[in-house]
Amino acid sequence: MPHRTLIRGATVVLPGEYARASVLLEGERIAAIDPAAHTHADEVVEADGLHLLPGAIDDQVHFRDPGLTHKEDLRTGSRACAAGGVTSFLEMPNTVPQTATVDALAGKLALAARRCVVNYGFYMGATTDNLAELQRAAHTPGVATPGIKIFIGSSTGDMLVDDQERLEEIFAETTLPITAHCEDESTVRANRARLDGPLTVHDHSRIRNHRAAVAATLRAIDLAVRHRHRFHVLHVSTAEEVEILSGHHDLITAEACPHHLFLDTSDYDRLGTLAQMNPSLKTADDRAALWRGLRDGAIQIIATDHAPHT
């Protein structure tokens, strides 16, 4: 029989309520909430005065293993997850090498099996020429992935895929769920070209502006709807996107990130380049809309987009 642990007298966070209760674990699984008083346990943890929460799932992290481990690796990243109550993470493909082949995915899974202390999953990354690998990833025994990541807008890692023909192929000819970084590359470049003179940190939100985010999200949603492909919008940052997403609950999900929920363009003066990220910070009105989206169900999950840099 698995080792039985009783966590006794905690304030347990349950769906829709808090309750003072005990929780029985068998091995690594919850066997019962508020079991009978005479229940046998091999170990008892007295938790009076403490809160007991479910482990969090972070569906977007950028650990730097392999290739950039001077910033972070799977061991240090997963230990940080455990310390913060995150028991599962999904990691993005812009490592070195990129996770753009089944072999690279298998290699990352093997690393994780040795180094990770929490549950893990790794996205396959789309490139302009790896359609066959994205198809193989759905059917290769022993190699599992939660889905495909597309950088429709450029960001760290040089994995931009914004050619319409390539995007049509990926949405039409693959079966795994698709996630995307949605910023329109042509809009970003045009915005940058219009700015003269030395740039300030405030210009980051002018370059990667509302139009860039909304245009790319609309483009990706159109692809998903036409091809009936499950799609997840990463790091939503604008009120317009929240409104758009509210009409697509059947096929499309979305996330918000803490930095877009708690910061806006007014924070550049205080934080400088520490507040520079992709997608950029937007206005206080956008920030309020993200919170409404979470409450109303247009946005279903909060993810960190954790990404260490040195």
- Please write down the HEC assignment for all residues of the chain: CCCEEEEEEEEEEECCEEEEEEEEEECCEEEEECCCCCCCCCEEEECCCCEECCCEEEEEECCCCCCCCCCCCHHHHHHHHHHCCEEEEEECCCCCCCCCCHHHHHHHHHHHHHHCCCEEEECEECCCCCHHHHHHHCCCCCCCCCCEEEECCCCCCCCECCCHHHHHHHHHHCCCCEEEECCCHHHHHHHHHHCCCCCCCCHHHHHCCHHHHHHHHHHHHHHHHHHCCCEEECCCCCHHHHHHHCCCCCCEEEEECHHHHHCCHHHHHHHHHHHCCCCCCCCHHHHHHHHHHHHHCCCCEECCCECCCC
In whole angstroms, what is the distance from residue 81 CA to residue 117 CA?
9
What tens digit of pLDDT does each residue of 179-229 get?
Answer: 999 999 999 999 999 998 899 999 999 999 999 999 999 999 999 999 999
- 142 phi/psi in degrees, rounded to 5: 80, 0
56-302 maps to CATH 3.30.750.80: no
Residues composing the chain:
310
Pick the closest to residue 123 from 108, 111, 113 (CA basis). 108
**Would the pTM count as exceeding 0.85?**
yes
pLDDT for residue 177? 98
Name the active-site residue from 65, 73, 264, 305.
305
Mean pLDDT for 17-26 is: 94
pLDDT for residue 249? 82
**Predicted confidence band at 12 (pLDDT cuts at 50, 70, 90)?**
very high
Q: Is the peptide bond before 308 cis (omega within 30 degrees of 0)?
A: no
What tens digit of pLDDT does each residue of 102-112 get?
Answer: 999 999 999 99
Q: 158 pLDDT exceeds 90?
A: no
Please confirm, yes or no, whether 305 is among the known catalytic residues.
Answer: yes
Sequence ranges of the domains in the chain:
4-52, 56-302
CATH number of 4-52: 2.30.40.10
User: Token pair for residue 175?
Assistant: 């079966």
Contacts 24+ apart (CB under 8 A), 18-24: 18/51, 23/52
**Predicted confidence band at 157 (pLDDT cuts at 50, 70, 90)?**
confident
